[in-house]
Chains A and B, each alone.
Chain A
Amino acid sequence: MWEMAKQRDAYGETLAELGRERENIVAVGADLCGSCRIKKFGTEFPERFFNAGIAEQNMMGIAAGLAMSGKTVFASTFAVFATGRAYDQVRQSIAYPEANVKIVSTHAGITVGGDGASHQMLEDIALMRVLPNMRVIAPADYHETIKATRAIADYKGPVYLRLGRSNIPIITDEDADFEMGKATLLKEGEDVTLIGTGIMVSRCLKAAKILEKKHDIDARVINMSTIKPLDEKMIVDSARKTGGVVTAEEHVVSQGMGSGISQVLSETYHVPMKRVGVANVFGESGGSDELMEKYGLTADHIVESAHDVISRK
C-alpha cells in the first residue's frame, strides 16, 4: 500500500525553505495560517509574513500590491474563500495586471468532510481556469506539491495551486521531474486512458489495477497536474493510442479538468469520453471516504466509466 501524507505539509515546508533561499518571498494569510501551514514561514520570517485576519478580499489586494512592488507573494487560505469570496479581487487585481501572486489554497474538494457544503469547494478549478493569465495546478501528492511550490515560485505571474486537507497516498517518485504544463505518464496502456488530477490520480492508478486484474483491460494512466495550460499533446496522443478517455477530479464535472480535456478533444481528435467527478450539486457533512463514495469519486466509479467508454469505442 501507498504511504500517506498531506499536501499542505509539503507546501508549508517548501515555502519555509524558499523563504530561506529568497528574501524576496512574502506570504499572506487570512486567519487560517496554521491550517494552511504558512505559519512555519511566518515564525521564521515574521517581517515577511502578514495575517490579514478574516478578510480574504483584502488579503488578495494586499498580495497584489506587494507583487506590484517586486515581491513574490504566496497567498493562502481555504479554496472556497480564496477563489469564491475573493473572486473579483483575484480577477481585477491579480489576473488582469498579471501580478506575481501565487494563490495556494488548501481544503479544496469534498474531502474537507465534517464542515459541510459551505466549506467544500468543488467549483474552484472552473473559476480559476476561466480567468485569463491564470495558471492552475493540482498536484497529485506530497512530493509533487513540493515541486509545484518551487516551480510556481520560479514562474513570474499569477498561479492557482490547489491542495487538499487530508492525508493522501504518495504515488509519485521523489525524484521524478515536474514541469508546469507537462502531464506525466504513470502507466502505459492500450485500451483506455485514465486522466486524473489531484487526489484522483491515485484512484486512477487503483482503477487501472482493478481493470487489469479483474477485466483484462490495459489502461493508460496520466497525471494531469497542470490543469491550465493543459498538456494538449499528451491528451491527443493518449486519445489516439487508446481510443477512449476517462477523466477524474474531485470537483464538479461541469467546467473542471475533464471539461477542459473534452474541449481539447472535441476540437482535435474525437473519442468516447466520460468525466468522473461530482454532479452539479453541493456537498454535505460526512467522513471523507464516505463522501468520496457517495459523490462518485472512487476507483470503482472510474472502472465503471472505463467500461462505458470502451463499450462506445
Chain B
Amino acid sequence: MAKLDDNRIEEIEEMARRVRIHVVKSTHAAGSGHPGGSLSATDILTTLYFEVMDHRPDEPQWKHRDRFVLSKGHAAPALYGVLAESGYFPVEELMTLRKLGSRLQGHPDMLKVPGVDASTGSLGQGLSIACGIALAAKIDRESHRVFAICGDGEVQSGQIWEAAMFASHHKLDNLIVFLDRNQLQIDGPTEDVISIEPIVSKWKSFGWHTQEINGHDIEEIVDAIDRAEEKDGKPSMIIAHTIKGKGVTFMEGSLAFHGKAADDEQLEVALDELGGA
C-alpha cells in the first residue's frame, strides 16, 4: 500500500474522533457498557474499516469481503460506531445500544447487526472463530483477509493459545490480529493479576510474525498491516500499545471506566474534550 498522505491521516483521525463521541454518548444513553476498552481500540477499528479492509456496507454479506472478529466483544460500542459511520445502519440507531428490542446488543450479535461477522462476548473464543474463517478462505482459495482484536487480559485464557498454535500450524498468513495492550483488565493491571509478559516473545515462540506499535498512531497501524502481509506462511500478531479510555482524560488509564458509562456531568466534560455536540 502507498504511504498515507497527511490529509488522509487527518481524515481517519477525524473519523476516530467521531467514533469516540459515539462510544461515550451511546454508553451514556445505555447507562452501562464498556467505554474504556472501546476507546483503546477505536483507532485500530477506524483504520481497519476506513482504510484497510475491503468491505461493502451496502452488501454486508459480500463473499469476498475482508472479515473482522472482535474477540474482546465488550468493545462493541466502538465496533458499532465504525459500522454506523461506514453506513451499515443509521448513526441514530447507536443511541439504542443495550436497550430492549435494539439490534445493538451489549455484545456483538452477528444475527442482528449487519456488518458483524461473529458473535462474541465470552472472552477467549473470538480468535478461534477468526482462525476458522481464515481456514475456510484457504480451503476455498479465497484471497480475503481476516482481522481480529484481542484484549490483553483476554489472552490469559487458555483457548487463545490453542488458537495460536493452530494458526501457525496451519500457516494462516491471511490472519492479522491486534492485541490491544492497554495494560488493564477488570481487577487491575494485567501484570498484577496474571502477568502476560513477555508477550511479544510468547507469540513469536508460537510461530507468529510479531510487531509492536503505538495503537493510536494511524500511520503505524497501516504500516504494520502492510508488513504483516509481506510475511508468507505465518499468522500475524500486532501488539498495539494503547491507553484504556484514550481520548477522554478522566477515563484514560482508569479501571473504573472499564465497565461503567459516563454520568450526565461526565458526559459533558467528555464531549467538550472530544469536540462533540
Contact = CB atoms under 8 A, between A and B. Distances in A.
A304 interface: no
Contact of A114 (B32, B120, B122, B154): B32
B100 A31 contact: no
Nearest to B96: A285
Interface residues of A, number: 32
Given A31-B186, A114-B106, A116-B106, A294 B100 contact: yes
Interface string B153-192: 1101110000000000000000000000000011100100
B90 interface: no
Nearest to A113: B32
Q: Name the residue among B30, B105, B153, B158 with the largest chain A CB count within 10 angstroms.
A: B105
B153 A119 contact: no
Residue from A33, A53, A294 having most chain B Cβ neighbours under 10 A: A53
B145 interface: no
A85 interface: yes
B22 interface: no
B194 interface: yes
A280 interface: no
B72 to A, nearest CB: 10
B269 to A, nearest CB: 23
A58 interface: yes
Given A53-B153, A285-B98, A115 B106 contact: yes
Interface residues of B, number: 32
A241 to B, nearest CB: 40
Contacts of A51: 187, 193-194
Interface in A258-301: 284-287, 290-291, 294
B185 A54 contact: yes
Contacts of B190: 53
A57 B157 CA distance: 8
A116 B32 CA distance: 12
A85 B107 contact: no
A34 interface: yes
A287 B100 contact: yes
B153 A116 contact: no
Name the 9 nearest CB pairs between A and B, nearest first. A118-B121, A286-B100, A53-B194, A53-B156, A116-B106, A114-B98, A116-B105, A115-B106, A114-B32
Interface of B: 30-33, 73, 98-102, 104-107, 109, 119-124, 153-154, 156-158, 185-187, 190, 193-194
